Amino acid sequence: MGTITRSFANNITTSGVLLPASLTNNSIANVTAYNAAVATGGMVLISSQTASNSASISFTTGIDSTYKEYQFWFINIRPRTDIVQFTFNLSTDSGSNYNVTKTTSFFRSYHDEPDTETQLAYVTDYDSAQITTYEILSSPAGNDADQNISGSMTLFNPASTTYVKHFISSVNTNTYHDYSMNDFKAGYGNTTSAINAVQFKMASGNMDGTILMYGIV
């Protein structure tokens, strides 16, 4: 048995766990390479779009088989119309139509500014069963100068032609009646066609704000 093998064996338990003494500055410094096939993880910014009194933000390029997971980050989405929800839809034809059939669930927690009311509840009005219209991602937002929506949505393996397309979102909404509402939506686009475009907009009226699209390595 070689010196390196004996040294390694002396620092591992019978259950295969490395002892703390086996990891030293010297041992780590001697690592000269790693297996390039091992994924290192990380977020790759694909595109960024900013709305300024815009009807919608659409991502019609960059959603393909390059990544198995895509994340959309919503930064200070502010409706120009008061008391409206933030919504999205999916496309299989590069944005010519946003009408993918979807089934979803929705729940939220909230707390008001005066510290008089809190709740955690499922919201049946915001879930859906096999609809092709736009999906609600948020509670009704306010359009005061300081009110907005921020959060994220993840779309899984949109290029698959075998499976339905899962998505999950979490956003915090500063509502029209001064509540902080943490809104959660999850569901799937009921199609085995590849999803290649996503559009976000308010339920009515225009919006301001920025949306970033990342691919997850």
Q: Could you state, in chain order, the average pLDDT of each consecutive group of 10 residues for the chain (217 residues)?
A: 56 61 59 52 94 98 98 98 98 98 98 96 97 98 95 98 98 96 98 98 98 97
- Give the separation between CA 104 and CA 126, rounded to whole angstroms: 9
- Has residue 37 been placed in a domain? no
pLDDT score, position 107: 98
- Has residue 161 been placed in a domain? yes
- 47 shares a domain with 28: no
- 100 shares a domain with 20: no
pLDDT score, position 23: 58
- Tell me the residue range of the domain where 92 lies: 43-216
pLDDT score, position 212: 98
- Only one residue has tokens 């779009």, namely 49
- 177 shares a domain with 103: yes
- 48 shares a domain with 15: no
Q: How far is CA 67 from the centre of its chain?
A: 14
- Indicate the pTM of the whole model: 0.81
- Give the separation between CA 41 and CA 44, rounded to whole angstroms: 10
- 168 shares a domain with 87: yes
- Has residue 111 been placed in a domain? yes
- 124 shares a domain with 23: no
- 19 shares a domain with 115: no
118-122 long-range CB contacts below 8 Å, 24 or more apart?
none
**Contact of 207 with 58, CB cutoff 8 Å:** no
- Give the separation between CA 26 and CA 47, rounded to whole angstroms: 42
Split into its structural domains, the chain has a count of 2
Cα radius of gyration (the chain): 23
